[in-house]
Amino acid sequence: MPLRPARVGRVGVIRAPVAKTAVVAAAVRPGPAPVAKTAVVAAAVTPGRVGRRRI
Amino acid sequence: MTEVPLDELGPVDYIVVEFPAGASSFTGEMAAELRALADSGTIRVIDVLILTKDADGTVEAAELSDIAELGELQAIEAELAELLAAEDVDNLAAAMEPGSTAGVLIWENLWAAPFASAVRRSGGQLIANGRIPIQAIIASIEAEQVTTTAGD
């Protein structure tokens, strides 16, 4: 399926090859289950909790 | 598409979301959430492309309109600005694994536009931006917890 003609011959906006983000590798590293990790982050970013960082 | 004066344009971001071969499960949930973001005025979808990379690395690009059943995306498709050029395709596909399919989404952060305009009017200019991956936050918190535990 070809792209629309309007896209051809135009200067692009993505100036360089996109690198795969390192997040993918970090997401599959061993450790607590993602759900547990999400709960930890949610707790950390919840305002007003003593001893927690606030973002 | 509705024309927006450049000095009122909000920050424009893009993502490339890869679906490894055999791992996609399209239920319409993504489309519904994207439509909700657009309908609420949080974002304006500027462009969408669907990329496929064959096992030999050959990349093909398709328009959103090439999808047979657009459903929730019908209204979004009608407003696309077609910002991406054909020469962008290979750059975007560079991150893809062979055999995968990816969706490219470009959007304007409408929620940030008034603040961005105010910054520009005040003489400010963006010199850095980025996203903190949730994994980085997790790693930071975990490291802090280890330090705290070791100090007990």
SS (H, E, C) B93-105: HCCCCCCCEEEEE
Rounded average pLDDT over B128-134: 84
CA dist list (Å): B107 to B15, B50, B78: 9, 15, 14
In the structure, what pLDDT confidence band is assigned to residue B135 with cuts at 50, 70 and 90?
Answer: confident
- Rounded-to-integer distance, Cα B137 and Cα B60, Å: 35
Indicate if the pLDDT at residue A39 is higher than 70.
Answer: no
Identify whether A14 is part of a domain: no
Q: B88 and A14 in contact by Cβ < 8 A?
A: yes
What SS3 string covers chain A? CCCCHHHCCCCCCCCCCCCCCCHHHHHCCCCCCHHHHHHHHHHHCCCCCCCCCCC
- Hey, which residues 22-41 in chain A have their CB within 8 Å of chain B? 22-23, 26-27, 31, 37-38, 40-41
Which of A6, A11, A23 minimises the CB distance to B133? A23
Identify whether A25 is part of a domain: yes
- In terms of average pLDDT, the best of A20-34, B25-39, B86-100 is B86-100
Q: Which position has the higher pLDDT, B147 or A41?
A: B147
Indicate if the pLDDT at residue A26 is higher than 50.
Answer: no
Q: Which position has the higher pLDDT, A35 or B88?
A: B88
**Residues linked to residue B60 through DSSP beta bridges, in sequence order:** B52
Q: A8 and B86 in contact by Cβ < 8 A?
A: yes
Domain count along chain A: 1
- Rounded-to-integer distance, Cα B57 and Cα B89, Å: 13
Instruction: Give the H/E segment covering residue B53.
Output: strand B43-53
- Hey, which residues 86-115 in chain B have their CB within 8 Å of chain A? 86-95
Rounded average pLDDT over A18-36: 60
Q: Which position has the higher pLDDT, A22 or B136?
A: B136
Q: A4 and B141 in contact by Cβ < 8 A?
A: no
User: Given this model, what pLDDT does residue A35 score?
Assistant: 59
User: Given this model, what pLDDT does residue A5 score?
Assistant: 93
Q: Do the interacting molecules here have an ipTM over 0.95?
A: no
Residue B3 contacts A, CB cutoff 8 Å: no
User: Given this model, what pLDDT does residue A14 score?
Assistant: 94
Range of the domain at A40: 20-55
Contacts of B90 in chain A (CB under 8 A): 17
In the structure, what pLDDT confidence band is assigned to residue A24 with cuts at 50, 70 and 90?
Answer: very low
- Average pLDDT score over chain B: 89
Indicate the domain borders of chain B. 6-125
Residue A10 contacts B, CB cutoff 8 Å: yes
Rounded average pLDDT over B50-74: 91
User: Given this model, what pLDDT does residue A41 score?
Assistant: 64
Contacts of B134 in chain A (CB under 8 A): 23, 38, 41
